[in-house]
Amino acid sequence: MRVVARTWRTALVLGVVSGCSLTTSFDGFTGGGSGVPDGGNVTAEGGDGADSGAPDASGSIAVAPAESTLAPGAELQLTATPAATAWAVTEPGGGTVDANGRYRAPYAAGTFHVVATGAGGATATATITVTPGIVLLAGQTDGHVDATGADARFRGPDGIAVDGDGNVYVSEWGNRVIRKITPGGQVTTLAGDGTAGSADGDGKTARFRSPAGLAVDAAGNVYVADHEDHTIRKVTPAGEVSVFAGRHGTPGSADGAATAARFRYPSDVTIDANGDLYVTDNGNHTVRRIKPNGATSTIAGKAGEDGATDGTVDARFGWPCGLVTSGTDIYVVEEQATVRKITSEGVVSTLAGLAGEEDDDDGTGADARFKSLCGVTVASNGVLYVADTYNHRIRRVTTEGVVTTLAGSSRGTDDGAFDDARFTEPARLARGPNGDVFVTDWIGHAVRRLSTNGTVSTFAGPLLLGGKNGTGARASFRDICGIAADAEGNVFVGDVGAIRKVSPLGDVSTLAGKDTWDWGHDDGAGSAAHFASPCNPAVDRRNGDVYVADYGSHTIRKVTPAGIATTIAGIPWTAGATNGPAATARFDNPSGVAIDGAGNVFVADTENHLVRKITPGGIVSTFAGKAGTSGANDGPLGTGTLSTPGGIVVEPDGSVLVSEYEAQIVRRISPAGVLSTPFGAAWERGHQDGTAALLNDPWTLAIDGATGDAVLGEWDGSTVRRLRGSTTTTLAGTPGEHLTRIDALPGSFDHVTGIAIGPTSIIVSSRAAVFHIVLPK
């Protein structure tokens, strides 16, 4: 069963917690938002926003609210009576206030004071407490928000079904709930409290483990393949949840009455005109039937035996993932890229695709190719539509097995005509009563609609991934592969095809590169430049130049503050491990760079298992590791080995730290080139702090210039950890929880893809957003 592919992934003024009426919610949590640079004392003269009124004869002045609690970066309107002639923040770094009394909190925790001065010199002070927490700087996040259309939020939408009235039902792996969307786009939660579990009963307290495929009957009951609970659940129109077949948490393959039947990771359900349910029993490699009274039988395949054989009793399935009925026939799609047919007589045949052979070819029967199938629906004329997940396409399959591409091509988030539309791992499909087809866009965290007029639109939720510039949540990123920050708090983002810049106010612009999902390699200024997948950049704070490892094009690139991109080492699209002059040197999918005070650039040369060094004079040499040898041996150059280095930073003493996401360790390379392992245990994945730390996909690194500590971001662990000496401490994120939950610490992230150190905060990126982490003082 597919989980999440590893890819190279409202108003923004939020968060008055108390003391003021300005309170806004994002992602279901209060707090966060865009802010301003963490500056020093700010004094503003005048005050059109202050209350006007006759001067008090005593010369006194009052400010309201007198006390407030804010999230980092949030705004607050202060009011003075009578009008203030000046406003000022007392503490350096305590935020800013404008001439109208509009205060913006810093990205720092603490208690700060804003002073209002009246015409006669009298003063009044507002006390503002800024709480620790996690706040959004820019980009889109997943979530669980009931609302209409683009204001709703989803987290890993998977299963989908449509009833006779056009209501759409969606299951979510990330939120563990069942949602209902009316034809007008109003999203509500039908069942599930968002916590993993097996509780039946009222929809508000019921729990699912991993709800996958859905079906809905004529009475409006929704049936759910609860994948990891090994059950088929039933949800009434009122949201009441019960087990229809199977037993909570008990895998097996037994047929029989509903309570005696057992399933093993069921992935999808469909219902026929007689009310019979059919199930793809993914872990058993079988297709099952459940009668309305719950009696369960196996109609095709053999439990415990996978394969691709056609026939009757000899038929075998690999990983059946989705199914649909059409008349008396059943069509099954499999993860190993085939479309199978089961007749009413139990004869199994392969309609399209070839088991184990993946590609994107259109064609007939075994000449067609797919890349992982889980979603399928059928039109009134018997034509199938399948979600070709990893090809990011919707394909059309006739009853004769002729396969064509209906919509989509390369990965993306564009709406529009079928030929122009883009998807990001479409998961499942359902056909509405008017012929429209609805699609769960798994990585886009949205529900899309293919209309009969030949266009694709987003039906509910904003598409998470994109390349739109703007401010805060109005901007979007395609798939972030690392970040860096300069001394002023500007953040530079490695995005697909481009280097993006985020100002301290959350304004997102493209510094260099193209607005495209396609990889490329062109030097030049601004939009004339093109990148493949720029990862883990570094900023030369002497001049503001940004260096980046361009993963995929095998090159090291530099972008000036004016947006002029050049290639400083490597030959585009030519992998290798050659040392020497930069113009003839070779790299193999480098994933990170760091720069020292002398201008030497260090490169995490990932697929070569090396750390390379580029001198200011343009000479490339091997600093650590053995080319082509993956390992975790400590020792000097020639003896020590590395395994897929990714993140890289230079420590204050000139040592280099590098993260190795396959070996689950962070290594230190002394200035003399000697390798040691201060953090993690080689090849052992986990989450454990202290001096015997365990790491989970250590991916990205940054150095806190104030303390000299390193900060680590873990991809699969989804945590941010401090590395001090030989001790590891978790600062933010919930281990292994791949979703966005901001506001209070520790929060959670949809994987950690980048780390940078801002003036007063840790800046972290997930696949599609950039956040501030503000720690307690």
As beta bridge partners, residue 754 has 765
pLDDT at residue 769 greater than cutoff 70: yes
380 pLDDT band (50/70/90 cuts)? very high
Shared-domain flag, residues 161 and 106: no
Segment among 267-271, 443-447, 674-678 with least mean pLDDT = 443-447
Shared-domain flag, residues 211 and 317: yes
CA distances from 212 to 159, 160, 236, 241 (A): 5, 9, 17, 15
Residue 486 lies in a domain: no
Residue 777 lies in a domain: no
pLDDT score recorded for residue 58: 53
Shared-domain flag, residues 44 and 189: no
pLDDT at residue 40 greater than cutoff 70: no
pLDDT score recorded for residue 53: 36
Q: In this structure, what CATH number is given to the domain that contains residue 200?
A: 2.120.10.30
Long-range residue pairs from 190-195, CB within 8 A, at least 24 positions apart, any chain: 190/222, 190/235, 190/239, 191/235, 191/239, 191/241, 192/241, 194/144
pLDDT in tens, 203-256: 999 999 999 999 999 999 999 999 999 999 999 999 999 999 999 999 999 999
Shared-domain flag, residues 131 and 170: no
Arithmetic mean of pLDDT, 460-473:
89
d(CA 551, CA 563): 19
Residue 529 lies in a domain: no
pLDDT score recorded for residue 660: 98
Rg (CA), the chain: 28
Short-list 5, 6, 3, CA closest to 697: 6
Domain that holds residue 750: 542-772
Q: How many domains does the chain have?
A: 3
Question: Would you mind telling me the total number of residues written for the chain in this entry?
Answer: 777
Arithmetic mean of pLDDT, 710-734:
97
Q: In this structure, what CATH number is given to the domain that contains residue 75?
A: 2.60.40
Shared-domain flag, residues 581 and 722: yes
54 pLDDT band (50/70/90 cuts)? very low
Shared-domain flag, residues 255 and 301: yes
d(CA 155, CA 124): 46
Shared-domain flag, residues 255 and 380: yes
CB 315 within 8 A of CB 355: no
As beta bridge partners, residue 690 has 728
pLDDT in tens, 138-166: 999 888 999 999 999 999 999 999 999 99
Shared-domain flag, residues 291 and 376: yes
CB-count exposure of residue 530 (10 Å: 0-12, 13-18, 19+) = buried
Residue 530 lies in a domain: no
Shared-domain flag, residues 103 and 160: no
Arithmetic mean of pLDDT, 290-298:
97
